[in-house]
Amino acid sequence: MEKSCSLLVHFDKGTPALANEIKEALEGNDTARKVDAMKKAVMLLLNGETLPQLFITIVRYVLPSEDHTVQKLLLLYLEIIDKTDSRGKILPEMILICQNLRNNLQHPNEYIRGVTLRFLSRLNEAELIEPLIHAILSNLEHRHAFVRRNAISAVMAIYKLPQGEHLLADAPDLIEKILGTEQDLSARRNAFLMLCNCAQERAVNYLLSHAESVSGWGDLLQMVVLELIRKVCRSNPGEKGKYMKIILSLLNSNSTAVMYECAGTLVSLSSAPTAIRAAANCYCQLLQSQSDNNVKLIVLDRLQELKASHREVMVEMIMDVLRALSSPNLDIRRKTLDIALDLITPRNIDEVVMTLKKEVVKTQSKELEKNGEYRQMLVQAIHSCALKFPEVASQVVHLLMDFLGDSNVASAIDVIIFVREIIETNPKLRESIMARLLDTFYQIQAPRVATCALWVVGEYSLSLPEVEAAISTIKQSLGELPFFRVAEDGEVIDSSFSKTTPQSTRGLASHSAPVVASSKRPAVLPDGTYATQSAAAEIAITAPSVSLASVGAAANLRAILLTGDFFLGAVVAATLTKLVLRFEEVQPSKIAVNKAVAEALLIMVSMLRLGQSSALPQPIDNDSVDRIILCIRILLGSDDVIKSVWLKGCRESFVKMIKDKQQQEIEEKKAKAQILHAQPDDLIDFYHLKSRKGMSQLELEDEVQNDLKRATGEFTKDTDSSRKLNRVLQLTGFSDPVYAEAYVTVHQYDIVLDVTVINRTNETLQNLCLELATMGDLKLVERPQNYTLAPEGRKQIRANIKVSSTETGVIFGNIVYETTSVLDRNVVVLNDIHIDIMDYISPASCADVVFRNMWAEFEWENKVAVNTTIQDVKEFLSHVVASTNMKCLTPSSALEGDSGFLAANLYAKSVFGEDALVNISVEKLPDGKLGGYIRIRSKTQGIALSLGDKITLKQKG
């Protein structure tokens, strides 16, 4: 175990204080200077200097000082100096301070006594404490509570030392007596804590004999009581019953901290529904009563844990949980919805949806800044409710459709996707939804929403009046044809467009602007492909300067089209085709059909014209042209095959997609459920054989201990030794006079190098020093020390290196030594040690939207061309995933099939919380090789570069 460090003070290396200056100031009589010098001495010590010569000065001149601050600083100094020699034996001069400590313990100033006692409770050297025992004990009866409480904690700390029981054999006795008489809350707490830690039975006895008065004990003490109860019940589960009453009485405590702790204790002790319910109730109470966001979030975390283990109980609490939605904080709302969504059952679904509906309405009435996002969350929540319980859809779908024209595009998209799904899964609602959709169609502003809405209209308008209404709605929203008028500007636009030179130059000129405007950064499309956004994307261009037919408020599609979004045009054309084809089926009158066909053709042609004219800054893209022309062809003459493709095939594949999605969800659930299954060797609780109802065995308390150990970094995972040996690096050659090899352990924030140095000569090497230097974000923690190495001797040297960001780092250095025969120093240069970035990143997952947002936001991109011997795209992907330790976000279903083309997103997080994004786009080239790019993006350069290097290195396969 490394030396523990009890304080850190920033030390400015720019102003080094010299040891002799400090010494001089310490020897003087000026108190202020002495204080200053003591501070400097402590800082120097913290900075790694040893200042051995200062100790005697301090003993001589500082120890007798009367000044309180000097005395306190002296205690800090004593706290951090090395009190033992290299073999762990106490330094003889340390005994000099004992006298001073004893004086302090008998000092008339109670605060001096107190701080000295506090210092003693941090002291680990029994030899130093031994002579002071008597003085410490006498302080237990001091008049001031300040002294008593510190004395008690000192006694506890001493008793806990390895030799503590010999030093203070009667400590539990004493403390128990004190506990009976003590009035000060802190002192009582410390006393009880001491009994808990050192003499558990006594603590239990005391607690049980005072069970009635526990509720009046004061919060600090109550917390320890709860700690004790948990501890006792862990080692002796049968005794839980005794403490239940106490816990329940504490549950009504005035202190919220105690309430919280109580609930935690209840959960850890019992799985009886009543206990869980009480705990959940308590959490909900805190959730409502506490205004602090931190508390709310953490309480929600606890509720989430409860939900995982005791769903049935939590189901009853769902409405209480939902009340947390009243908080304006989005994180809290999100967590609340997460919890609530998992708890819905047929019984409470109505209530939940009502609440959600109310919240949605609320977002409409008040204009808060985050309303849009919140609404999106609610829509998603309602969506998933409706998926689970389709019957509620009818209640909400109409309300939600009001938001199709929402200015927050994301929530509008959510709504339309929801509608699309409901209309398929809920045939009963089809008619009403269609009617409603056509009503609200004019409000739709966003192209993506509009395309989706058009698809729904085209697919689900079945009856004659519906089809008619749909066609007329689309027509209306397109407005008057044509889309632009030729005459007014005197511009001639005809098919010979390309021949008129001034026109084309003009066209070019007007191109340049949008090129700039549309030179947006490339984005990752939802299917994982990496694309520069084409016309299909929303490009914010204001209405073109050509004089246009007046754009009515109703003509929303027209407005979008005129911004140059021809993808929408293609969708409109397809929708019209579908509608007309269906019209043919349901309309007996041939005349009406022909009219409809003609109108549809006119619209499509107008759109093509608009696209090819110079009226818009950017011409129609070829995809859209093809699509519209295809529609025209179909309308001009169609056969049954094509008809069935258009009218049925589309629908079928959508149905399939929904089914797939449900399938996938079910599978995920199954996978989750599988994890929850008991292990073969788990204990089985036989409900009927239990003596006390609902008391199950839980080892939760061990977690507390582990938790603390993990937090202090004491806890190290066991790695299998085979991996360990892989990390041994040879640093020098076998024929070098000094052989060195290092074993590198990478912890979370630090790297430990265990270097074995072997003297291969027959001489004694003196002042042997391992000098290391680093490149990258690495920092050496200690300065190297000098060693003497006997002939053929070996030495283990340990070096700590601090890591502060995810980056490939290099450690290099040399070994310097002197021999007796030669005066000058010899140097052996070491092999470089490369620290692998892979040790710092771990697979993580994030939502598709989040990923794309980060992708757009991050500054650094590293593009690596694919160059590999692997022949198969999927094999290549799995190879990259394996070698970079990342997670593939693209679902496996999207990667299925054998198209010779693959696009996938990978994601990982570093231990420092940095994100690493990778996009792979590969295709199989005709010659059988793979081609394409791997792009890495991150917020910092380091990750992008190191990860790129790593991939370049590993991709060969």
Partner 1 sequence: MVVLAASVINKTGKALVSRQFVDMSRIRIEGLLAAFPKLVGIGKQHTYVETENVRYVYQPMESLYLLLVTNKQSNILEDLETLRLLSKLVPDYCPALDEEGICKVAFELIFAFDEVISLGHKEAVTIAQVKQYLEMESHEERLHQLIMQSKINETKDVMKRKANEIDKSKIDKLRSDKGRMIPMPIRLDNGFNDITSALSGEFGSNSGFGSSLDSDTFSKPKARVSAPAPTKGFGMQLGKTQKAAQFIESLKAEGEVIVEDVQQVIAGPSKSTALVTDPIAVAIEERLVVALKKDGGLENLEVQGTMFLTVQKKEDAYIRVQIETGANKGFQFKTHPSIDKELFSQQNILGLKDPNRPFPTGTPSGVVKWRMQSRQESLVPININCWPSVSGGETFVNIEYESSKTFELQNVLILIPLPALREPPIVNQVDGDWRYDSRKSVLEWSIVLIDNTNRNGSMEFVVPPTDSSSFFPIDVKFSAVRTFCDIKVASVNQTQGGNSLKFGGRTQLVVESYQVA
Report the site for partner 1 in 597-656 (rule: CB under 8 A).
none
| Position among 256, 443, 587, 831 found at the interface with partner 1 (CB under 8 A) | 256
AA identity, residue 41: A
Nearer to partner 1, 286 or 340 (CB): 286
Tokens 């050192």 label which residue? Answer: 198
Handedness of CA 872, 874, 875, 880 (dihedral sign): positive
Q: If DSSP codes are grouped into helix, strand and coil, which group holds residue 674?
A: helix
What is the rounded distance in angstroms from the CA atom of residue 560 to the CA atom of residue 546?
A: 15
Applying CB under 8 A, the span of 49-57, 58-66, 607-615, 763-771 interacting with partner 1 comes to 58-66
Nearer to partner 1, 110 or 316 (CB): 110
Dihedral, CA of residue 642, residue 644, residue 647 and residue 649, to nearest 10: -100
780 makes contact with partner 1 (CB under 8 A): no
What is the phi/psi pair of residue 272, to 5°?
-70, 140
78 makes contact with partner 1 (CB under 8 A): no
Identify the bridge partners of residue 530 per DSSP, sorted by sequence position.
Answer: 524
185 makes contact with partner 1 (CB under 8 A): yes
| Position among 22, 70, 76, 229 found at the interface with partner 1 (CB under 8 A) | 76
* Non-local CB neighbours of 777 within 8 Å, separated by 6+ positions: 803, 804, 805, 807, 809, 942
| Rounded least distance, CB 4 to partner 1, Å | 4
Nearer to partner 1, 173 or 707 (CB): 707
Nearer to partner 1, 7 or 553 (CB): 7
Q: From 99, 46, 97, select the one nearest 75 (Cα to Cα).
A: 97
| Position among 84, 106, 653, 845 found at the interface with partner 1 (CB under 8 A) | 106
Q: From 130, 125, 141, select the one nearest 102 (Cα to Cα).
A: 130
Tally of CB atoms within 10 A around 361: 11
- Per-residue three-class SS string for 343-382: HCCCCCHHHHHHHHHHHHHHHHHCCCCCHHHHHHHHHHHH
Nearer to partner 1, 103 or 215 (CB): 103
Q: How many residues does the chain have?
A: 957
Count Cβ neighbours within 10 Å for each residue of 566-581 and write b for 16 or more, e otherwise. bbbbbbbbbbbbbbbb
AA identity, residue 431: E
Nearer to partner 1, 6 or 871 (CB): 6
| Rounded least distance, CB 938 to partner 1, Å | 13
334 makes contact with partner 1 (CB under 8 A): no
| Rounded least distance, CB 512 to partner 1, Å | 37
Identify the bridge partners of residue 728 per DSSP, sorted by sequence position.
Answer: 743
| Position among 23, 189, 909, 935 found at the interface with partner 1 (CB under 8 A) | 189
Tally of CB atoms within 10 A around 832: 12
Q: If DSSP codes are grouped into helix, strand and coil, which group holds residue 27?
A: helix
Nearer to partner 1, 6 or 205 (CB): 6
Class of residue 160 by CB neighbours under 10 A (exposed 0-12, middle 13-18, buried 19+): middle
Mark 283-322 with x for binding to partner 1 (rule: CB under 8 A) and - for no binding: ---x---x-xxxxxxx------------------------
845 makes contact with partner 1 (CB under 8 A): no
- The angle subtended at Cα 260 by Cα 258 and Cα 263, nearest 5°, is 105
550 makes contact with partner 1 (CB under 8 A): no
| Position among 800, 819, 831, 878 found at the interface with partner 1 (CB under 8 A) | 800
| Position among 912, 945, 949, 952 found at the interface with partner 1 (CB under 8 A) | 912
Mark 721-760 with x for binding to partner 1 (rule: CB under 8 A) and - for no binding: ---------------------------xxx----------
Applying CB under 8 A, the span of 187-195, 421-429, 560-568, 901-909 interacting with partner 1 comes to 187-195
For residue 264 the two structure tokens come to 């935690």
For residue 576 the two structure tokens come to 């019209």
Applying CB under 8 A, the span of 59-67, 163-171, 682-690, 896-904 interacting with partner 1 comes to 59-67
253 makes contact with partner 1 (CB under 8 A): no
Dihedral, CA of residue 579, residue 584, residue 585 and residue 589, to nearest 10: 130
| Position among 25, 41, 62, 121 found at the interface with partner 1 (CB under 8 A) | 121
| Position among 23, 83, 118, 333 found at the interface with partner 1 (CB under 8 A) | 118
Contact 766, 819 (CB under 8 A): yes
Contact 419, 383 (CB under 8 A): no
| Position among 26, 34, 70, 146 found at the interface with partner 1 (CB under 8 A) | 146
Nearer to partner 1, 78 or 157 (CB): 157
Handedness of CA 197, 199, 200, 203 (dihedral sign): negative
| Rounded least distance, CB 95 to partner 1, Å | 15
Applying CB under 8 A, the span of 505-513, 605-613, 663-671, 706-714 interacting with partner 1 comes to 706-714
| Rounded least distance, CB 184 to partner 1, Å | 9
Q: How far is CA 868 from the centre of its chain?
A: 33
Tally of CB atoms within 10 A around 533: 15
What is the rounded distance in angstroms from the CA atom of residue 481 to the CA atom of residue 646?
A: 26
Q: If DSSP codes are grouped into helix, strand and coil, which group holds residue 217?
A: coil
| Rounded least distance, CB 364 to partner 1, Å | 23
| Position among 70, 78, 193, 423 found at the interface with partner 1 (CB under 8 A) | 193
| Rounded least distance, CB 614 to partner 1, Å | 45
218 makes contact with partner 1 (CB under 8 A): yes
Nearer to partner 1, 100 or 905 (CB): 100
What is the rounded distance in angstroms from the CA atom of residue 891 to the CA atom of residue 531?
A: 19
Task: Please state, in angstroms and as integers, the Cα–Cα distance from residue 145 to each residue in 70, 139, 185, 186, 224, following that order.
Answer: 23, 10, 9, 8, 19
N-to-C CA span, the chain? 41
Identify the bridge partners of residue 75 per DSSP, sorted by sequence position.
Answer: none
The strand order across the sheet containing 794-803 reads: 728-730, 738-746, 750-759, 794-803, 778-780
Applying CB under 8 A, the span of 252-260, 540-548, 766-774, 865-873 interacting with partner 1 comes to 252-260
| Position among 45, 74, 196, 220 found at the interface with partner 1 (CB under 8 A) | 220
| Rounded least distance, CB 665 to partner 1, Å | 28
Nearer to partner 1, 506 or 710 (CB): 710
Nearer to partner 1, 6 or 893 (CB): 6
What is the rounded distance in angstroms from the CA atom of residue 895 to the CA atom of residue 247?
A: 54
| Position among 17, 27, 51, 72 found at the interface with partner 1 (CB under 8 A) | 72
Scanning residues 3 to 22, which ones bind partner 1 (CB under 8 A)? 3-10, 12
Scanning residues 510 to 539, which ones bind partner 1 (CB under 8 A)? none
For residue 683 the two structure tokens come to 């204990």
| Position among 212, 305, 331, 391 found at the interface with partner 1 (CB under 8 A) | 331
Q: If DSSP codes are grouped into helix, strand and coil, which group holds residue 468?
A: helix
| Position among 181, 365, 712, 722 found at the interface with partner 1 (CB under 8 A) | 712
Nearer to partner 1, 471 or 841 (CB): 841
| Position among 41, 78, 97, 115 found at the interface with partner 1 (CB under 8 A) | 115
Q: Give how many residues touch partner 1 by CB under 8 A.
A: 90
What is the rounded distance in angstroms from the CA atom of residue 844 to the CA atom of residue 885?
A: 10
Cis peptide before 588 (omega within 30 of 0): no
183 makes contact with partner 1 (CB under 8 A): no
Scanning residues 350 to 389, which ones bind partner 1 (CB under 8 A)? none
Applying CB under 8 A, the span of 184-192, 553-561, 610-618, 767-775 interacting with partner 1 comes to 184-192
847 makes contact with partner 1 (CB under 8 A): no
784 makes contact with partner 1 (CB under 8 A): no
What is the rounded distance in angstroms from the CA atom of residue 36 to the CA atom of residue 73?
A: 10
What is the rounded distance in angstroms from the CA atom of residue 472 to the CA atom of residue 580?
A: 12
Scanning residues 21 to 40, which ones bind partner 1 (CB under 8 A)? 39
| Position among 22, 41, 120, 153 found at the interface with partner 1 (CB under 8 A) | 153
